[in-house]
A and B are shown apart, each in its own frame.
Chain A
């Protein structure tokens, strides 16, 4: 029987099929932990006197809470410090590998897994974090879970799940100059909506996807959850294999050959059918930015703020009105006229070396506009080191940006990197929810190229605007 990529990976992990309404029991190959969603799960294990079944398939890092300055000092925020110290105690008690603040392998959990070579095609990967969908870029079935499920995986290395439906996102053609993976995914979310992917695994396909680098593919899969899909996947190919080859946890020798032989079978069969299909023409895409308070409220940078009165659907109209009030924006305003206070370059969406290179390329020899602060936060310490080896830190510092340590930082403002009330950001992160980057903060989601150009001009801009 012909099957999609998602179905192949699913079936390879079924420990037992459920009967009737009972879900399938799925084996989990890799469990990633961080400090925020794990403490109550560890407590649950202790209360029930249960063991953590597979410490050797589990790895932890500190990312959400960690400060991005003064990391050689204890965390000043006592509640954050307690949470990080709790993770350290739990990892010691249960015998888990942890990359703490300051460690060379520390970083955002979704940057760390792939760069260590722990994320491989055909695996099941979970984490108590919705952006676990990132790992689907390797052809893994990867999705975020809640704390009860974290505890369940700790105790059993499995999860009871009902099969997902499948949706193909076909992106064909070539991307134009200055158009990136971020613009693809923002356009996809604007097209299908924040609930459009609910119940589905998305599979991104087509020539525009095949042409993307591994890091760009991670950007696309990362934001699958913003379209409501728990997971997004891309079939592995030579780009994938080349990325994995030689990484610390990649198979080697005969194991490598056996792995690649299997990985090459991980493609949707030609005659397989998806439950839904969406098609996007890559050539028509331009730099995309959000104007509202959910990631589906996005438009090409050349557009103007929409007029809610012209929106037919009542729920969408009310949502747009509330969004514009919160964002302090008027209908008809060109997006390019919107002035920002802060530019944030980083996160599990766009905090990898290629993102930093792309932004550095735009900002090199220029200055961050007066009155604008720009934070550059590498996704991991390894990315930071690589960027410094390439001199990117100097490029950012010379332009007047701040060069920080690794972590989630201003993506969600659990550490001191936050927007003040009313402050506006252009952010390469993944969520523009009310208060996401700080209470009262206003977020526009953008690509690294747009972030850099915006930092220079002070208003939402693409690199092409710098030439005028």
Chain B
């Protein structure tokens, strides 16, 4: 995972709440077994409408998505994060994220920046009145900045640390392998295994 400290890019105002993962990427795009190239599936249904924000200049080249509350609800598909990142997004700003989506973002290096809804509204107004305004997201001081607007955002400290350092979660966990083995030695013997059952 690439480290993330600060990012500046075109902000995209998405005035929708409850943007669920079926909207971010419909299930039909989930049949692939590869890990890249999901940008064509991003908001696939909405992109068929020429008035959709990502079909307009300068938002086509957006990298900071500013969305309504309850972003990323629904399915656990990490493809939603892959699609956003493959398209070019590095940050999503919302006043509330679904838990699984937020977790998936943290694993991939997409910053899920939780701002107040009033700051989201201010960002929407600014980005709509002055399209193309650069938005800077600074993970070191946890702010979103655009022109005179400085909006603090929340992100949990551990995810922030991992993103700043660009650390791989599995490698971090494997440092504790002896503790995992010790735990396994103490598990109840009656807990089930998935070993095949003897034929009846």
Contacts and interface: CB of A to CB of B under 8 A. Distances in A.
Given A195-B69, A413-B27, A435-B22, A79 B180 contact: no
Given A15-B179, A433-B22, A434-B22, A50 B156 contact: no
A103 to B, nearest CB: 12
Interface string B173-193: 110110110011001111111
A465 B73 CA distance: 34
A27 interface: yes
Contacts of B70: 194-195, 198, 228
B100 interface: yes
Contact of A294 (B18, B35, B192, B193): B18
A251 interface: yes
A412 interface: yes
Contacts of B156: 21, 162
A152 B169 contact: yes
A152 B171 CA distance: 9
A83 B104 contact: no
Interface stretch (A141-149, A282-290, A344-352, A375-383): A141-149
Interface in A48-64: 48, 50, 55-59, 64
Nearest to B30: A36
Contact of B107 (A56, A79, A148): A148
A128 B75 CA distance: 9
B22 to A, nearest CB: 4
A176 B82 CA distance: 46
Interface string A147-169: 11101100111101010000000
In which size bucket is the chain A interface?
35 or more
A391 interface: no
Interface in B42-99: 45, 68-70, 73-79, 81, 96-99
A156 B99 CA distance: 22
A125 B70 CA distance: 25
Given A15-B183, A156-B173, A146 B31 contact: no
B73 A194 contact: yes
Contacts of A255: 189-190
Contact of B78 (A123, A148, A158): A148
B33 A160 contact: no
Contacts of A439: 26, 45
Contacts of A447: none
Nearest to A48: B170
A278 interface: no
**B73, B77, B157, B196 pick with most chain A CB within 10 angstroms:** B73
Contacts of B125: none
A146 B190 contact: no
Contact of B180 (A27, A83, A132, A230): A27
Interface string A308-323: 0000000110110010
A146 B158 contact: no
B180 A156 contact: yes
A117 interface: yes
Contacts of B188: 258-259, 262
A21 B159 CA distance: 9
B34 interface: yes
Given A50-B170, A80-B31, A130-B100, A158 B76 contact: no
Contacts, number: 209
Contacts of B184: 27, 157
A442 B45 CA distance: 14
A145 B16 CA distance: 25
Given A198-B96, A255-B190, A148 B158 contact: no
A414 B30 CA distance: 8
B107 A149 contact: yes
In which size bucket is the chain B interface?
35 or more
A65 interface: yes
Nearest to A247: B192
Contacts of A58: 194
A59 B197 CA distance: 13
Nearest to A36: B30
Contact of A79 (B17, B31, B98): B31
Interface in A226-269: 226, 228-230, 248-251, 255-256, 258-259, 262
A229 B73 CA distance: 10
B158 A21 contact: yes
B68 A315 contact: yes
A225 B194 CA distance: 26
B158 A22 contact: yes
**B32, B78, B174 pick with most chain A CB within 10 angstroms:** B78
Nearest to A258: B190
Contacts of B176: 15-16, 25
Given A118-B192, A255-B189, A414 B103 contact: no
A8 to B, nearest CB: 14
Contact of A130 (B74, B170, B191): B74
Contacts of A64: 27, 30
Given A56-B194, A318-B17, A319-B17, 14 more contacts: A25-B173, A30-B194, A36-B30, A36-B77, A59-B194, A117-B192, A128-B76, A155-B174, A156-B174, A198-B97, A319-B18, A433-B22, A435-B23, A439-B45
24 contacts: A15-B179, A21-B161, A23-B158, A30-B194, A37-B77, A40-B33, A58-B194, A145-B76, A146-B76, A147-B79, A149-B103, A149-B107, A155-B170, A155-B173, A162-B156, A194-B18, A199-B99, A249-B193, A249-B194, A315-B69, A319-B18, A412-B27, A414-B27, A431-B20
Interface of B: 15-18, 20, 22-23, 26-28, 30-35, 45, 68-70, 73-79, 81, 96-100, 103-104, 107-108, 156-158, 161, 169-170, 172-174, 176-177, 179-180, 183-184, 187-197
The 3 closest A-B pairs by CB, nearest first: A21-B157, A148-B107, A146-B104
